[in-house]
Every structure is written in C-alpha cells, then in structure tokens.
Amino acid sequence: MTDKPQYRLLQRGEPIRADDEALKEDAETWAVVGDGVFVDCPYTAHVFRPMRRRAAAALAGTAPGGA
C-alpha cells in the first residue's frame, strides 16, 4: 500500500474546486488551483489544462446520507 495520495482526472462539466490541481506548463508538475476566477466553473478539457482531484476528496459526500 502506498502513502502517496491517489488522484483522478476531472471530467467534463465537474465544477473546479480550489483544492484541485492543474498540470503546469512543464507538463510534469501540478499546482493547486487556489482561489482563482475558475473556481466553480465547469471543467472543459478544450479550455483548461488537465486537472486532477484527490480521490478522497472526489468521494466525499457520495456515501448514502451525504457523509
């Protein structure tokens, strides 16, 4: 088992969150989106660079009862 966080790519239409990460210009490293103008915008691959979200954050609120 690994201690590194697990990520998944954002899918079209998902709202961008401040804790999501965008691929930087070097195409090797990632940077946190932060409190920019794109937070809450729907992700669109042909407009934005690839973005990822921590798997744990992606699953939050999906359990029955909104846990």
pLDDT digits 0-9 by tens, 48-60:
999 999 987 545 5
Q: Is residue 45 part of a domain?
A: yes
Q: Is residue 65 part of a domain?
A: no
Q: Is residue 15 part of a domain?
A: yes
User: What HEC string does 8-44 produce?
Assistant: EECCCCCECCCCCEEECCCCCCEEECCCCCCCCCECC
pLDDT, tens digit (0-9, with 9 covering 90-100), for 9-45: 999 999 999 999 999 999 999 999 999 899 999 999 9
Provide φ and ψ at 56, rounded to 5°: -60, -40
Q: Is residue 67 part of a domain?
A: no
54: tokens are: 């921590």
**Domain count for the chain:** 1
User: What is the pLDDT, as a whole number, of residue 60?
Assistant: 57
Tell whether the model's pLDDT for residue 64 goes beyond 60. Answer: no
- Please give the residue range of the domain that contains residue 36: 1-60
